[in-house]
Amino acid sequence: MDTLDEAIERAGAAAYAIYASSQDPDMRYLTEFVTSDPLFYIKKRGEEGVIIVPQMEIGRAQDEASCDAITRGDAGFFTYLEKEVSPYRAAARMAYEYAGGDIIVPGTFPLAMAEDIRSFCRVTVDTNTVENMREVKSSLECDAIRAAQERTNEVMALAEDIIRHATVKDGALWHEGAPLTSDTLRREMHCWLLRHGYTARDTIVSCGEETAQPHNPGSGTLLADEPILIDVFPQDEKTGYFADMTRTFVKGEPSPEIQEIYDTVRDGQTLAEEMLRPGVTGAEVHNAVLDLFTERGYATGDEGFIHSLGHGVGLQIHEGPSLSPRADTPLVAGNVVTVEPGLYYRNAGGVRIEDLGVITKDGFVCYTKYKRRLIV
């Protein structure tokens, strides 16, 4: 795996630069500094990276950032501001002067800022060096993801408990004297997570026919005897790391078809988790699950197993490595991945079960400590 120094050298550049807030996962990864405003991080070849901050942020940056920090004044910004036509142009010159030559930037680098820097030096886009670095988690990163997954286990238990104790009226679920809707259950989950220091967005709570669409967020009243698919992926507000988990429940009696689909998906997940280890590729694991589904009579076309088996999780909810048909790079220890097989049919509904864990030298360690059960 390339380092930033190798990427800089390969491009014939002097430095690597990011201009972003900590919402950018590469910026958060390289600096561990939380900021709502875009800042420059610049790493010269052969040197440690530096974050350039306003004067009012220097104390906090020096205390909290994992890299060195200097002020914009120390980097010459205010001198350049007197000479350039705009603050953006002055910031671009500051980045060039500090870098001392040509710069490589990530693909997410703002175009307007890149164009201003190009008036001083050559700017080359480096598409994936930091993304690839982020694929292998440190022990501290694994701890952060595991902690997030523990909270996810708890909020899924909350959702299951609400479904289990719901009453049934004319086929609909009721909770606390009102119909239990997707929005109600999602709101209960989000509020619980907020109280525990986590944020969740776009949580899926779908039911019945909606479950045949993997990312249908769900709407309306939840129903008895129908699959209820819940996919929640909260982010720790403190560390920035995500977790991810999906379970499919039925309150009441599932149809024989949904029960069979559930058993098949569960067996596919078990197979995948047993295969995961350093050296195996994501494609090998995905295709093994696909073969099992096909053998069970669940051939895939426009229905069936219509998405990848899994993905990496870290400072983004979807990052590398992938467990997909074209993922031909061997997995390594430190990869944190989901295992989420699913089968989806318009006439029956869909089932997905998702676990999260880390690849170790001995195999796969699952962080999802939550029983797989369909009927609640």
Complete DSSP assignment for 65-122:
-SSEEEETTTTTHHHHHHHSSSHHHHHHHHHHHHHTS-EEEETTS-HHHHHHHHTTS-
For residue range 191-225, list pLDDT tens digits in order: 999 999 999 999 999 999 999 999 999 999 999 99
Taking residues 173-186, report their average pLDDT: 97
Asked if pLDDT for residue 71 goes beyond 90, the answer is yes
Taking residues 348-367, report their average pLDDT: 98
What pLDDT is recorded for position 85? 85
For residue range 103-151, list pLDDT tens digits in order: 999 999 999 999 999 999 999 999 899 999 999 999 999 999 999 999 9
Q: pTM above 0.85?
A: yes
3-state secondary structure of 45: coil
Q: What angle do CA 322, 15, 113 make, to 5 degrees?
A: 85
DSSP H or E stretch at residue 363: strand 363-366
The rounded percent of the chain whose pLDDT value lies above 70 is: 100
What pLDDT is recorded for position 50? 98
Rg (CA), the chain: 24
Which residues face 115 on adjacent strands? none
| 307: number of Cβ within 10 Å | 15
Asked if pLDDT for residue 343 goes beyond 70, the answer is yes
Asked if pLDDT for residue 101 goes beyond 90, the answer is yes
Contact 30, 67 (CB under 8 A): yes
Order of strands, edge to edge, in the sheet holding 167-169?
Answer: 167-169, 172-175, 178-179
Looking at residue 152, its amino acid is T
What pLDDT is recorded for position 127? 85
Per-residue b or e along 262-286, where b marks 16 or more CB atoms closer than 10 Å to that residue's CB: bebbbebbbbbbebbbeebbbbbbb
pLDDT-derived band at 1, boundaries 50, 70, 90: low
Taking residues 328-336, report their average pLDDT: 98
Taking residues 277-296, report their average pLDDT: 98
Q: What are phi and psi of 343, to 5 degrees?
A: -130, 135
Asked if pLDDT for residue 47 goes beyond 90, the answer is yes
Residue 242 DSSP class: B
What pLDDT is recorded for position 2? 77
What pLDDT is recorded for position 173? 98
Asked if pLDDT for residue 366 goes beyond 80, the answer is yes
What pLDDT is recorded for position 299? 85
